[in-house]
Amino acid sequence: MSIRSLMTSETIGEPLSDSRSAQLTGHLSGVTGGQVYPASLTVAHRAIFFLLRVGVVKTLGVITGHEIPAGLTGSISTVSIDGESLTLCLSPLDTQNAVAMRRLFPYLVAQTLGLRKSAGCGDRLGLATPGHLRAIRQSTMAPILAQQSIRENARTGRTPQQVMDEAMWGIFENGWRGGFGADADHLKSTADIDVCAAAGFTFYTIDPGEHVDNEANEAPVEVLRQKIGLLPWPELETTWEETRQALGSSPVDLGDFSVTLTEEDLLRAAAKYGWVVAHTVKMYRHLAMVKGDQPFELEMSVDETETVTTLAEHIYIAHELKRLGVVWVSLAPRYVGDFEKGVDYIGDLTAFEESFRRHLAVARIFGPYKLSLHSGSDKFSIYPIASRIAGELVHLKTAGTSYLEALRAIAVVNPALFRRIVTFTRERYPVDRASYHVSAQVERMPDPETIGDGQLPDLLEDFHAREILHVTFGSVLHHPDFREPFFTTLREHEQIYYAMLEKHFGRHFAPFDESARAIGD
């Protein structure tokens, strides 16, 4: 079969066989002088599309016997393969070409995932998507591959559009056609929504944490009544009497059990979360207006707050959001125990299981919607519990753990750089920890100067080192002594990084897959 014979159809062809892919990879590497990624080879629109790399720079290649598809820009030349004279276009991985690729390949457009069991794979570097997909391919999880908070964007110097584009190019490199979501994470304002909607995000995590009244958790009843009087009742479109009548006049049926909410339960729930509900409704309605007829999904998160979300408080939140017309796909309460960054769950697993089971009952009755595990990275002890209880109604959200795996790769291939980064992070930690829930202590972190090069990756297994390295990512990535060598090292050794991500995320996903297989059996 000649190469020109592949360029006859306008439709998107099936993935090539291994033998055909290997043959084309050889031809295209020869004419471009670059390393072609075989999984990216795609026959469509009377052309062959592929991703290649020269040095550490990646480029989109398109070769055809016809015109280059509209919208793509780049350098054009004539090449010969097997005696065929063909047109080659080498295009930079910029936003303009990303827009064109999304038009040509619908599976490169972020979509909504609905109630499918899902995993958010945050990527603060814009390099991790191919590694994430290696793990996803062996999993039953639906992927969210473009996930970044506004806070993380500020600390990494990226924009929502860059996050989206870099994830898309990683998807194309890997040849993934199974669909993906895009999470605009921890949004606090309508301006946050606007910039993320413009970039094409489909999953919007509203973070009303600053509107939680944590004092209401233990305030006396007379103080709660005062707080209730100050709630924005016009925005809530109800009154305290109507709220008490709706939720306190009879037991709330949660399927296998029912819950009777006392007046104090409701006073505490409304005082603590009334402003949260009002803010979430405002954000949702703005999002619906901005998105128009484009599909989107909402997640509401109150996980990064000081006090645990009780069952009564979850019921109040869900009831009020539903009454006010909000449609959401997942919710992240503040669970019992501690979900610190980059380390396993800290707390009583039996207490977590009982609490999670009861929270899921609320999610089933008032939704159904998924329970979201925020700061979900590395919480290996609770994954089997969450999977067994929730089934498909669970969303696992990870972020910083991919950055930690990048540091692991650097520790292996560039130990001198890793040592310098560790020394710097020990100095920065007292400042950078301020906006995170962590308990690591610098004095309890192993001194890297006492560790040989071969043992440096073991630092990533230490509780204190993981948290210290995790929360200082912004300072490292902004530092002129670290940023360029950090990215260059990872790009030069990307396959090592991908392999580490595949292994690490495989550990995250396996408990959810095992439960799925057990249900199938």
Partners of 35 in the β-ladder? 53
d(CA 134, CA 163): 19
What residue has token string 């209730």?
228
Q: Is 191 exposed, middle or buried (0-12, 13-18, 19+ CB in 10 A)?
A: exposed
Single out the residue of 166, 156, 206 nearest to residue 184, CA to CA. 206
Taking residue 350's Cβ as centre, other Cβ atoms within 10 Å add up to 9
Residue 311, both tokens: 């069952």
| 213 classed as catalytic | no
User: Which is nearest to 205 in space by CA: 370, 77, 42?
Assistant: 370
> Which residues face 52 on adjacent strands?
36, 59
185 an active-site residue? Answer: yes
Please tell me which residue in 152, 173, 183, 185 is annotated as part of the active site. Answer: 185
Q: Which residues pair with 119 in a beta bridge?
A: 143, 396
The residue from 299, 405, 432, 494 that is catalytic is: 299
CB 414 within 8 A of CB 425: no
Question: Do 211 and 279 contact (CB within 8 A), yes or no?
Answer: yes
The helix or strand, by DSSP H or E, that contains position 253, with its residue range, turns out to be: strand 252-253
Helix (H/G/I), strand (E/B), else coil: 424 = helix
3-state SS class at 394? strand
Q: Which residue has the tokens 């008490």?
A: 244
What is the CB neighbour count within 10 angstroms for residue 210? 11
Supply φ then ψ for residue 355, to 5 degrees: -65, -45
Distances (CA, A) of 386 to 126, 370, 372, 413: 29, 11, 10, 36
**Measured CA distances, 433 to 39, 169, 340 (Å):** 40, 32, 11
Contact between 138 and 506 under an 8 Å Cβ cutoff? The reply is yes
Residue 63 CB-density burial (10 A; 0-12 exposed, 13-18 middle, 19+ buried): buried
Identify residue 207 by its one-letter amino acid code.
D
Q: What is the full DSSP assignment across 307-320?
A: S---HHHHHHHHHH
Taking only Cα atoms into account, the Rg of the chain, rounded to an integer number of angstroms, comes to 25
Confirm if 266 and 247 have CB atoms less than 8 A apart. Answer: yes
Q: How many residues does the chain have?
A: 521
Give the residue numbers marked as catalytic. Answer: 185, 299
